[in-house]
Structure 1
């Protein structure tokens, strides 16, 4: 097979806090409040399938089995393991639960599950939109547990404003919550494990309160410094990458294309491209494909030379 950029049919997830904003990307949504579009993923709770080219109809798990390191690269492929990342678009029509994710070393992880370090890039934010991002300075496990027991958890949390173009790096152990009015691209470890601390006493989709995970949350929370960082991501010059997040699990960069931008795939890692704004074309030796806002592509490690043409804001993600 001659390598080419892979585009997938998203797996849509109904969430109590979701809405219909993902329709603006030309995505087909089922009925109900859709909070998450899993754009590229290989997880027991959702595996995306290719919709373009020779591999159309194959799931990401089948591509792993058939093509291994030629697509994923030496860093991205190992026998009997899933694709290492999960790429999402999130429509936060309402506040998400206050939550925290475990690291890989937490001994109560479900069998086969990874920890969850992630990052957000804000695609759009309504005026006054906020994000809960970490504990206030001086919080300890004892003071945090007491605040939870007294129904004062919000007193322990930091709130920050969110604007389009902001980037948030969220290592495992960071207490956080996306709030109403933000539309986000999320790059994360391939995990679907979330521990909820607080859910505003609202019913879930089944009309019953959603489960909280207080003890697990208290166990995995980083009380001193989780390593979380945030930044406004102004790109000073076109056709150059700005580093947004570096972790042991992924590197994420932002670039703004203008005209033609010649690039090369990385031989030891796949590359993920997320089109945040604008339009253009992605061209390689075997063809070209249009770029539109919300598109996500997996570039095989053996793709070789390619170019981004037009005017678009792009996230590039790869394994460190």
Structure 2
């Protein structure tokens, strides 16, 4: 196989808090729908994306893993703990508030069989005026005080609200209480996991008209009450064709770059590279070939691709394995 940048057919997920704003990126979203998540690149039992372009078109990411392994994933990527692609890349449309939730780490005994923990990061693509998120607990909160607040329906008194704007970045290690608020579009890079423990869901019904399940005991068990190492930052890149590191975890590194003109880059044999195009348009070139790219697209660059170029006026996120 001759290596080339892979685009995927996204898996669109309906959510009670979703809307139809992902349609602006050309994603398959119907009017008046409640699409909350576009799984752009993923290999999970709840959704595996298929290649949309080139020689490998129609193959799922799981099939690529079994057929091409190290050529695509790299020496690090092929050795993920559960044997699947190690990351899950999403675009999120938060028309309404998400549930207040927390994710377990890899070592939590209550994880479903075959599931990993969930450390993630958010990059805010768009935010309506006044948009906020919940990001951590107020200082001094303990398991006991939080349990009492939940019992007394006072949990919101113990949560930190943070205003957000386009370009903000949030690193969310497992154990961090969090919730996206209404009015934001988000790019998310996370471990390949779909485990969510809900603490609070505003007493609203789900898409089936029934209250969504809460996971109080699991949540209280996995929360890092003294802090999990969550960090946030505004993301002004110092200049064109330079990387600004947004997150460095044991599971992924995420960087932001602004392309102005032509930028010479390369992959390594250790890890694939993922590019999320946040703004603008341009093209990616490799080995005498090129392909147009635009906002909302996600590309998986095989570890074996080696030299490539980004051109145009683009804001991109780059993700790879540490």
Q: Distance in 2 between matches of 1:237 and 1:197?
A: 41
Asked if the contact 2:20–2:30 (Cα under 8 Å) also holds between the matched residues in 1, the reply is: no
Q: Distance in 2 between matches of 1:85 and 1:286?
A: 29
Alignment of 1:17-166 (within 5 A): 17-30=17-30, 32-78=33-79, 81-166=83-168
Asked if the contact 1:135–1:156 (Cα under 8 Å) also holds between the matched residues in 2, the reply is: yes
Unpaired runs of 5+ in structure 1?
A: none
Q: Distance in 1 between matches of 2:213 and 2:79?
A: 34
SS for the counterpart of 2:157 is: helix
Q: In the alignment, does 2:172 pair up with 1:170?
A: yes
Q: Deviations over 1:29-69 (max 9, x none)?
A: 25730000000000000000001000000000000000001
Unpaired runs of 5+ in structure 2?
A: none
- Give the corresponding residue for 1:10: 10
- Give the corresponding residue for 1:278: 280
Deviation at 1:189, TM superposition (A): 0.2
Deviation at 1:286, TM superposition (A): 4.4
Q: Distance in 2 between matches of 1:30 and 1:76?
A: 35
Q: Distance in 1 between matches of 2:122 and 2:2?
A: 33
TM-score, structure 2 length as denominator?
Answer: 0.98
Q: Distance in 1 between matches of 2:85 and 2:255?
A: 20
Deviation at 1:225, TM superposition (A): 1.5
Asked if the contact 2:133–2:179 (Cα under 8 Å) also holds between the matched residues in 1, the reply is: yes
Asked if the contact 2:243–2:255 (Cα under 8 Å) also holds between the matched residues in 1, the reply is: yes
Deviation at 1:27, TM superposition (A): 0.9
Greater shift, 293-302 or 77-86, is seen at 77-86
Deviation at 1:78, TM superposition (A): 2.9
Q: Which runs of 4+ in 1 moved over 4 A?
A: none
SS for the counterpart of 2:77 is: coil
Q: Distance in 1 between matches of 2:30 and 2:311?
A: 33
Q: In the alignment, does 2:243 pair up with 1:219?
A: no
Deviation at 1:96, TM superposition (A): 0.2
SS for the counterpart of 1:303 is: coil
Deviation at 1:291, TM superposition (A): 1.2
Q: Deviations over 1:178-215 (max 9, x none)?
A: 00000000000000000000000000000000000000
